[in-house]
Amino acid sequence: MPAADKPAPAPPRRRYLSGARLAMLGVMVNAFLGIVKIISGLLGNTYALIADGVESLLDIFGSLVVWFGLRVASEPPDDEHPYGHGKAEALAALVVSFTVVAAALGLAVQSIREIRTPHQMPAQWTIYVLLVIVIVKEFLFRKVIKAGDALGSTAVKTDAWHHRSDAITSLLAFVGILIALWTEYPAADDWAALAASGIIAWNGINLLRPAMRDAMDTAPPKGMEGGIRALASAVPGVRALDQCRVRKMGLDFYVDLHVGVDPALSVREGHHIAHAVRKAVRDAMSEVADVLVHIEPEDELEDE
């Protein structure tokens, strides 16, 4: 029987809102850099910089999706969502991942068109613009990925890789323009944009994997289940463990655990053991929001 404890508290709202603030920071930075890149690209005759600017403006959409997803995920449970709204975080990560791949495909198509179209040499001063952009975006990536790891948020980490993709695009555009100026081959920066599109697409595909795992309730790493079993086994009165299911909901994990006890125990005694197991796991693992403990007679547990 499940432990009849009070409902688990909602995931800390401040963790979601912290991620949402980072996403909004990304919106402001990308808006500014996107405009700077496009204007510089138009004035400096470099499509790689224009494409880089368009990609930055598309990143605004991604950051807004992450911001909205985390805001929704921060809402407490209600009658229609008894487990809370945490899945909005995974859905936001999925949407952002798809936009990265779509942006890469669009960039590749336009880069090929530019390669086949004669145009002027890029201006030398554009390389300095790109160098500053690479530094800014790499700094932002490191800041956001660190926060994403601390929060355990797939959406925030996906948004961070948006910044890294932008830094890579700008770096390749920098190299492409240098080659174009050195060889007097103006299409070199367009080839750089094409190379960047491949890297961005690869990043987008890699970002899809953790987002899909979260959305599909994929089991966490085995180390987590082993830790839960070790904590539960150490509780007095626990004689055996059977099923242990763990799934991620937003930034937190939910556990479903079957515990075998002495068949002669009373209902009250079994309840106390269930409560102790739940408390032991939650106290030791802050990322676990709730543990549903099923108490069963030891001799009726299914063989593992």
pLDDT tens per residue across span 47-89: 767 777 777 777 787 778 877 877 787 777 777 777 777 778 7
- Render pLDDT for 86-111 as a digit per residue (tens, 0 to 9): 778 778 888 888 887 887 888 788 78
Mean pLDDT of the chain: 80
Are residues 18 and 159 located together in one domain of the fold? yes
Question: Is a pLDDT exceeding 50 seen at residue 2?
Answer: no
Question: Is 121 exposed, middle or buried (CB count within 10 Å of its CB: 0-12, 13-18, 19+)?
Answer: middle
pTM for the predicted model, two decimal places: 0.64
Question: Which of 215, 243, 261 marks a domain boundary?
Answer: 215
* Structural domains of the chain, count: 2
Same domain, 121 and 193: yes
Do 247 and 172 lie in a common domain? no
Higher pLDDT, 151 or 246: 246
Q: Is 242 within the bounds of a domain?
A: yes
Last residue within a domain, chosen from 215, 237, 258: 215
Domain of 175: which CATH number? 1.20.1510.10
**pLDDT given for residue 233 in this prediction:** 92
- CATH number of the domain encompassing residue 279: 3.30.70.1350
Calculate mean pLDDT across residues 113-131. 81
Q: Is 261 found in the same domain as 178?
A: no
* Domain range for 253: 222-300
Q: Which of 192, 215, 238 is the last residue of a domain?
A: 215
Residue 29 confidence (pLDDT) above 70: yes
